[in-house]
Amino acid sequence: MADKKYESLTIENIVASGAIADSIDLVELSEKVKNCELNKKRFPGAVYRIKDPKIASLIFSSGKIVLTGSRNNKALTDGLAIIIKSLNEAGIDTLKEPKVAITNMVCSYDLGKSINLNKIVVTLNVENIEYEPEQFPGLVYRIKDPKIVVLIFSSGKIILTGGKNLEDVKKGLDILEQTLESIL
C-alpha cells in the first residue's frame, strides 16, 4: 500500500472458508489437538485457536473450516498450514490441496475530517443508505459493485466490509469518496 491515498486503510480481519478434509471426527480432533474445544450443546463444530499467527478456526465434521482473525494473506496462509499440520499429526486425514478462500475482509479507514451524516442522507436520498442514529451511530452505505458495505461515522472513521480482496475494498473506497466529494 505505497499509495498515499490509501495510507490509513488497515485490514482489521480476514475471514476465509472452505474444505480441508472429506470428513473429520470432531471428538477425536478435540481430544488430540491442544487448544481445540468441542461443545456440541453450544455449537456444532470444534473451535481451534492458534496463537501465532492469532487465528480462530471453526472446524466441522463435514471437513469444512472457517478461519478468522488474520490481518494479512501471509498470516492466513501460515495459520492454515499450522492447522493442517496439527490435524495430520493427530492422525486426521486432510485434503492434499485444501480449498480455502477469502470470503470477507473488514478494513478501517480514516477520511481525516468529521462528517455531517444527516447532510449525506438529505443530499443523496438514495435507497442504498440507512441511517437511524437511535439504533446505530453510523450511516450504512451499500455499494453494489464491488459488493461492499461501508459504515460511516461522524468522526470521519469508516469500516468497509464484504470485499474478498484489497482491490475490491479500494474500489469501494474510491466510489465512496466520489459520492461524498460533492457533499463534504
SS3 assignment, position 130: strand
Give tens-digit pLDDT for 94-128.
999 999 999 999 999 999 899 999 999 888 877 78
- How far apart, in whole angstroms, are the C-alpha atoms of residue 4 and residue 183? 23
**Three cell numbers written together for 176:** 465512496
The answer to whether the CB of 11 falls within 8 A of the CB of 175 is no
Q: Which CATH architecture has domain 111-181?
A: 2-Layer Sandwich (3.30)
CA angle, 130 then 132 then 137, to 5°: 100
What does the pLDDT read at residue 27? 94
Ranges of the chain whose pLDDT falls below 50: 1-2
Task: Give CA–CA dist 37/27, Å, rounded.
Answer: 9
Compute the distance between CA of residue 131 and CA of residue 150 in angstroms, rounded to an integer: 12
Say what the pLDDT of residue 3 is: 65
Say yes or no: domain 15-102 is CATH 3.40.30.10.
no
The one-letter code for the residue type at 94 is T
pTM of the model: 0.88
Closest CA to 44 of 17, 66, 75: 66
Domains of the chain: which residue ranges? 15-102, 111-181
Fold match, 15-102 / 111-181: yes
CB-based contact 107:164 (threshold 8 Å)? no
For position 180, what pLDDT does the model report? 86
The number of beta carbons lying within 10 Å of the beta carbon of residue 156 is 15
